[in-house]
Amino acid sequence: MTLEVDYSVSEALTEDDEDVPGCPRADLIASWAQHAFLSDASCRVSVQVLGEREMQQLNHDWRGKDYPTNVLSFPMAIDPELDAALLDSPDTQVVPPLGDIALCAAVINREAHEQGKAITAHWAHMVVHGTLHLQGYDHIDDNDAAKMEALEIQILQSLGFDNPYQTLRS
């Protein structure tokens, strides 16, 4: 299983959220996403850390919700025939995109504080959560939520983090 992770921090982050502590290192973000990648295929994911205004705009544009959120995932929808043609070409070494993950530093850090969680643990949870969404997992109904939460707990524990839902339900 190979997951390439392209990581970037928005230039607007420092303009919007000057008081936000530093974001996790790129190697940590990549490791968390790679641990949550459950396929044997090779894929690529883009992870970008955004400011509150940028995240609010994305959340408004894509979900109709006018507030910043912690994480948004955008699975890549590629035509299967085009994808197969690209991958079968001997002249190219294309790593198909899995999708994009947007993380809002201010919201993640604020939630960690409000929920009494270590900031690093909450960042890891949001990266794992976003990566699972890219693979088709969701939490719309109770059964799907239970499956996704169980995977999140298992992955996070393999990374040395506690159950992220335990403190929310205690």
- Domain of 153: which CATH number? 3.40.390.30
Give the pLDDT confidence score for residue 88 in this predicted structure: 59
Domain count, the chain: 1
DSSP conformation class of 161? -
Q: Give me the sheet containing 42-50, strands edge to edge.
A: 2-9, 42-50, 97-104, 71-75
Domain limits for position 26: 2-169
Give the whole-angstrom CA distance, residue 66 versus residue 19.
22
Helix (H, G, I), strand (E, B) or coil at 98: strand
Give the whole-angstrom CA distance, residue 42 versus residue 19.
37
Give the pLDDT confidence score for residue 84 in this predicted structure: 59
What is the residue-level pLDDT of the chain in tens, covering all 170 positions? 589 999 998 887 755 544 455 689 899 999 999 999 999 888 999 999 999 999 999 999 999 999 999 999 999 876 556 555 555 555 556 788 899 999 999 999 999 999 999 999 999 999 999 999 999 999 999 999 999 999 999 999 999 999 999 855 54
Give the whole-angstrom CA distance, residue 118 versus residue 160.
12
Give the pLDDT confidence score for residue 113 in this predicted structure: 93
Cβ–Cβ < 8 Å for 130, 71: yes
Give the pLDDT confidence score for residue 86 in this predicted structure: 57
Give the pLDDT confidence score for residue 19 in this predicted structure: 46
The token duo for 39 is: 């396929």
Give the pLDDT confidence score for residue 21 in this predicted structure: 59
